Amino acid sequence: MQPKQLLAQNVEFGNAGGLDTDGTGWFIGFNDWTKNPPSHLRHVPTEELTAGLCVKWFCHPAGNPNGESKPLSEGRTMSVLVSPASEFRIEFSTSAEFVPHDTLSHTLRRHGDFVIWGPGVFHRAFGGQPACILTVRWSRPGRRGSAINGHGRGSRGESQHDPLTASTFIPVFRARDQVLASDEAVEARRARSFEPHVALLQALAERIGASRDAPDGVPRFDPLDGGINARVLLLQEAPGPRAVGSGFISSDNPDQTAANARHACESAGLSRRDVVRWNAVPWYLGNEEGTKIRPATREDVKRAEPWLAELLQLLSRLQVVVLMGKNAQRLAPVLKRIAPHLRVERTPHCSPLALNYSLDRRTELIETLRDVAVNLRT
């Protein structure tokens, strides 16, 4: 299923005054008329518990043409235009970068226009005209009966029969997932960049950055990872904008892909000191503004092969290479040729587009990493 199709199942637009409510005006609730397939975002059965109810009233001034990106959503959120008329555009995406093919846009114009969305969605707003917005947010911890005895509940305490949660991975984007969000944190990490276990790796990164392959340089290895002592190489596709911004290939970068990778390793019991992180293409593949990355091509991956060979020579304790995502997996034949002694595993990419709407992929990722962790030789 395409990203916009996934979004369409998790976002609903409408006008409260134009809905069929059987003359009652209740457009969110337990009545049958609140059901709107496939996600039934406005339907709250009488036997279902809700939690974390929040209500916000805010009058947005005109302007803010660049929007304001919000963290990944949890639970359900509804925003209603209560102004007589306005131009208040909201965009939704499964990616924090809001790439065009993965973005839905809707403008609230009339009194009563609303939008409601479920978990696992990024959103941002653009105020073309002044707009007063009433926003209500709530979560669904479970259903009465199952909540008491704990039966019939899935991950995060939600009903396994909930159409939104049974097929949706909703990672929590916590403060500790944004360690490298501040200049002070980045400077502190840079101060450790040439500790003995990563000094040779940083020298390699600098040589790559000085080559014609990478005119804009490449991010460094994270000194909090295992460095040359690592037994596992996690190889993703290419550095994203946040890695370019922090200057490190790190699970501490303030983006959802890094957070997903960190959560997966923690869930699998894969120790950070056993891991070194790098990319199939170690240089940035994107626009000059540093806001959008393009997919790596076969030519990109082939051009990066000699640098990968040099990296493997520095990792004397390496046992496993995990190829994360389809583009990184193009290196499997190369690894078989230049390092036949290494075990090679494949997992889905850690991006929100790959994981946030597929519990199967998340499970595959964690189980593969868990198997890697359990079978490492001392």
User: Could you read off the pLDDT of 345-363 as tens digits, one per residue?
Assistant: 999 999 887 876 677 888 8
Backbone dihedral region of 238: left (phi > 0), alpha (psi from -120 to 50 degrees) or beta?
A: beta
Helix, strand, coil: what percent of the chain each, to 5?
35, 25, 40
CA neighbor of 326 nearest in space, from 347, 311, 342? 347
pLDDT at 377 over 90: no
CA neighbor of 63 nearest in space, from 33, 87, 97, 35? 87
Check residue 291 and give its pLDDT: 58
| CB neighbour list of residue 132: distance below 8 Å, 6 or more residues apart | 57, 58, 59, 60, 81, 82, 83
- Enter the DSSP assignment of 72: P
- Distance between CA 33 and CA 30 in Å, rounded? 8
Give the side-chain half-sphere CA count within 13 A for 108. Answer: 31
Q: Which CATH architecture has domain 3-144?
A: Sandwich (2.60)
| Mean pLDDT within 41-68 | 79
* Of 33-37, 60-64, 184-188, minimum mean pLDDT range: 60-64
150: which 2 tokens?
């704990």
CATH entry 3.40.470.10 includes domain 175-374 = yes
Q: What are phi and psi of 309, to 5 degrees?
A: -60, -40
pLDDT band at 66 (very low <50, low <70, confident <90, very high): low
| Mean pLDDT within 325-342 | 94
Helix, strand counts (H, E) of the chain: 10, 14
- Distance between CA 135 and CA 89 in Å, rounded? 15
pLDDT tens track for 91-126: 998 777 788 878 889 999 999 999 999 887 888 998
pLDDT tens track for 4-37: 666 777 899 999 999 999 889 999 988 888 988 7
pLDDT at 282 over 90: yes
Check residue 162 and give its pLDDT: 36
Our measurement of the distance from residue 180's CA atom to the centroid of its chain's CA atoms, rounded to an integer in Å, reads: 16
Check residue 153 and give its pLDDT: 31
CA neighbor of 156 nearest in space, from 263, 298, 235? 263
Which value, in Å, is the radius of gyration of the alpha carbons in the chain?
A: 23
pLDDT at 337 over 60: yes
Check residue 161 and give its pLDDT: 33
- Distance between CA 72 and CA 67 in Å, rounded? 15
pLDDT band at 56 (very low <50, low <70, confident <90, very high): very high
Check residue 75 and give its pLDDT: 80
Spell out a b/e string for 57-74, using b for 16 or more CB atoms within 10 Å of the CB, else e. Answer: eeebeeeeeeeeeeebbb
CA neighbor of 345 nearest in space, from 363, 319, 378? 319
Mean predicted lDDT score pLDDT of the chain: 82
Check residue 364 and give its pLDDT: 92
Q: Is the pTM of this model over 0.75?
A: no
pLDDT at 313 over 60: yes
Each domain of the chain, given as residue ranges in start order, spans: 3-144, 175-374
pLDDT tens track for 79-92: 999 998 899 999 99
pLDDT at 136 over 50: yes
Contact 253, 236 (CB under 8 A): no
Helices (H), the chain: 3-8, 146-149, 183-190, 196-210, 241-246, 256-268, 298-314, 332-338, 352-355, 359-374
Check residue 151 and give its pLDDT: 30
CA neighbor of 155 nearest in space, from 5, 362, 377? 362
